[in-house]
Amino acid sequence: MDKIKRNTKYQQKGLVSILFILFMAIVASFILTIGYSRLLLALQRGRSVVDSLITSYRAESEINDLLARLIEGYLTHKDFDFSDSVNLADGTRVDSRGRISGAEQILTVSARRSFAVSEIQAVRTIKTQKTIKSVDVILILDCTSSMDERVTLPDGKISTIMAEQKKAALNFVESMILHEDRSLFRLGVVVFGSNAASWIYDAKNVAVTPDNGFSLEEVREAIDINFGNSREKSSVFYRPSRACQRVNDGTSIGSGFVFAQEYFDTKREEGRKQVEILITDGRPNSRIAYDKCPPSTTCGVLGPVSCTKPDYPEAHNFMRCALADSNTRWDGNYGVRNPQIDAYSVTIFETPSGEAVDIFQAYSKAYFNASRAHELTGILEKIFETIVESLSTISISRVIPVPEE
Amino acid sequence: MLIFITAGSVMATLYSTGTRTKQSQALEQTINDLQIEFLNAVKWGTSVSYSSNSISVDGVAYQLRDERIYKNDVPLTSNEVIIKSLNVNNYSNSPPYLSLEIKIELGHRRFAALYDTVRFVVSQRKTTLEEHG
């Protein structure tokens, strides 16, 4: 009997132990399950961040690719509307869509992964000239005596660089006059030398600025009558034209740029495009004091203080400062040109080289060299075409993706 | 008895580890959320300004207040996470586009041992391009 009781007691104890262990096992499994689910959650959370970055990168890459194709003409207006979908090797699905809405070409790219979607939209607005109030252009012409150098034209005739510059400027105005949207263009003309720059003036002594109400024909006439040096038939000395008498001899290219830019800065308004075009034959050898372009000193070939020979670093730095835009550094300083002003540079070097050319190439919107003076006309026409074509903008934004149906 | 003690201590360890993991995940989640939020906001913002402890993007202000980061008046961080500091510096050398270094010190409200410091840089991109030529 005792043995039976003892066995029963052991069995009860064993049962309790088993139940306890069972209970503990269930609780432990429960805790482990929670732990495991948290681990999974942490992994998925990590994946969601990675997916977010990857989709953002893929969408941006695709939109940049589409924009490059659009701008370069591989994707044309007639290709719209389009829709495309591609599955990348990394598991990202990229959907591209393009549609036209009025004057806008709208590109939308969605990149989707398991845990993230990024959608980016680029709107290219074709701003025809009609949506622009005006295109204000300032021609900045070189008045230095070296422009009077003789050149031989392809037909054997003798001319001067100044005469070719004048001819090119007149042809440029002519191109504007013949343009179907000529009313949009307003033109001013500036000359520069060593000490400063100046507007050219018409017969009534009114400055030829974009805002002074000159018709293009009147600007053409003002250039024709007042601009250009001319040689005495029997003399090797040049006689400055009326316009060039306003500035001293010597080449301060920076003076020409800052003169035009300071004018534009007071005239800025929405829908008004501002363009400056400088033509020169020489390397800068002069500068004026200008606080925004340190060190602010004055030096020149005719002044009391000469710039440092033989490289004229003061003149070159002034040119850098004047031409570089305010987002661009030169030697630790930012340029002074507002980026909204488009600056074009044209040189008339026989063999383009040297520091001045490097500066023009680095800081102009576009730089052209006419190895022969008579090529200026063609280059100015090319610039004119560039101005007309550049009137469109692209806006890129991130948009909230629409859930798939 | 030994079994009971062992099983009990294993369970206690599992429980405390689980709790600690949970709190740690709360910090991780906050860090991820803030990174993604600031990345998207600053990168695509057209008007971004900053001070040493706040950022403003297109009229939306991100700032540290009462140990939480607020997006205007909406808290971005949960109540159980405290934000100890928010520091903002600009690293950009191409103004007007900003590259903001954002440093955030955060910790768990009830577990002082749980804290972290996250530092990341977000750059504003040019969203309007003028097509040349």
AA letter at A303: G
Lowest-confidence segment of A303-312, B29-38, B58-67, B102-111 by average pLDDT: A303-312
- What 3-state class would DSSP assign to A128? coil
Residue of B nearest to A51 (CA): B36
Residue B113, domain member (yes or no): yes
Q: Within an 8 Å CB–CB cutoff, is residue B12 touching chain A?
A: no
Residue A79, domain member (yes or no): no
The average confidence (pLDDT) of chain B is: 85
Residue A86, domain member (yes or no): no
Q: What is the CATH number of the domain that holds A198?
A: 3.40.50.410
Q: Given B15, B35, B130, which is nearest A393 (Cβ)?
A: B130
Do the Cβ atoms of A395 and B94 come within 8 Å? no
Residue A217, domain member (yes or no): yes
| Residue B20 with chain A: CB contacts under 8 Å | none
The number of domains in chain B is 1
Do the Cβ atoms of B14 and A32 come within 8 Å? yes
What gap in Å lies between CA A277 and CA B95, rounded to an integer?
25
**What is the average per-residue pLDDT within A164-188?**
83
Range of the domain at B101: 20-123
The number of domains in chain A is 2
Angle at which helix A253-265 crosses helix A313-323, to 10 degrees, equals 30
| Sequence-separated (6 or more) residues with CB below 8 Å from residue B95 | A326, A327, A334
Q: Given B4, B128, B131, which is nearest A71 (Cβ)?
A: B131
Indicate the Cα dihedral angle A162, A167, A173, A176, nearest 10°: -130
Q: Which residues are bridge partners to A106 per DSSP?
A: A99, A123
Residue A60, domain member (yes or no): no
Do the Cβ atoms of A398 and B44 come within 8 Å? yes
Query: What DSSP string describes A232-259?
Result: -TT-SSEE--TTGGGS-SS--HHHHHHH
Residue A64, domain member (yes or no): no
Residue B108, domain member (yes or no): yes
For chain A, give the percent of residues with pLDDT over 70.
87
**What is the average per-residue pLDDT within B34-50?**
89
B48 alpha-carbon distance from chain centroid: 18
- pLDDT surpasses 60 at A353: no
Lowest-confidence segment of A25-34, A96-105, A253-262 by average pLDDT: A25-34
Residue of A nearest to B29 (CA): A45
Do the Cβ atoms of A329 and B11 come within 8 Å? no
Residue of B nearest to A396 (CA): B127
Q: Tell me the pLDDT tens digit for each residue of A245-292.
A: 666 667 888 999 999 999 999 998 887 889 999 988 767 888 888 889
Residue B46, domain member (yes or no): yes
Query: What DSSP string describes A172-225?
Result: HHHHHHHSTTGGGEEEEEEEE-SS-EEE-B-TT--B--TTTT--HHHHHHHHHH
**What is the average per-residue pLDDT within A194-208?**
83
Residue of A nearest to B125 (CA): A396
Range of the domain at A273: 134-389
CB atoms within 10 A of CB A38: 16
Residue of A nearest to B14 (CA): A31
Residue A100, domain member (yes or no): no
Beta-strand relationship, A272-280 and A341-347: parallel
Is residue A177 packed enough to be buried (19+ CB in 10 Å), middle (13-18) or exposed (0-12)? middle
Tell me which of B9 and A222 has the higher pLDDT. Answer: A222
Q: Given A42, A396, A398, which is nearest B28 (Cβ)?
A: A42
Per-residue CA distances from A384 to A135, A171, A302, A381, B11 (Å): 11, 11, 35, 5, 82
What gap in Å lies between CA A249 and CA A236, rounded to an integer?
16
The average confidence (pLDDT) of chain A is: 82
Angle at which helix A376-389 crosses helix A161-178, to 10 degrees, equals 30
- pLDDT surpasses 70 at A130: no
- pLDDT surpasses 90 at A218: yes
Q: Which two tokens stand for residue A284?
A: 């800068």
| Sequence-separated (6 or more) residues with CB below 8 Å from residue A223 | A166, A169, A170, A173, A189, A200, A208
The pTM score is: 0.53
Residue A150, domain member (yes or no): yes
Residue A232, domain member (yes or no): yes
Same domain membership, residue A296 and residue A149? yes
Residue B7, domain member (yes or no): no
Same domain membership, residue A139 and residue A7? no
Question: Which one, of A259, A263, A366, lies nearest residue A318 by Cα?
Answer: A259
Residue B92, domain member (yes or no): yes
Q: Within an 8 Å CB–CB cutoff, is residue B73 touching chain A?
A: no
| Residue A390 with chain B: CB contacts under 8 Å | 130-133
Residue A302 half-sphere exposure toward CB, CA atoms < 13 A:
13
pLDDT tier for residue A166 given thresholds of 50, 70 and 90:
confident
Q: What pLDDT sits at residue A404?
A: 66
Do the Cβ atoms of A386 and B128 come within 8 Å? no
Q: Which two tokens stand for residue B76?
A: 């971005």
- Pairs of residues, one from chain A and one from chain B, whose beta carbons lie less than 8 Å apart: 83
Residue B39, domain member (yes or no): yes
| Residue B131 with chain A: CB contacts under 8 Å | 71, 124, 390, 392-394
Q: Tell me the pLDDT tens digit for each residue of A133-163.
A: 778 999 998 887 777 777 777 788 887 888 8
Chain B: closest CA distance from residue A390 (Å) = 5
Chain B: closest CA distance from residue A235 (Å) = 45
Cis peptide before B96 (omega within 30 of 0): yes
AA letter at B2: L
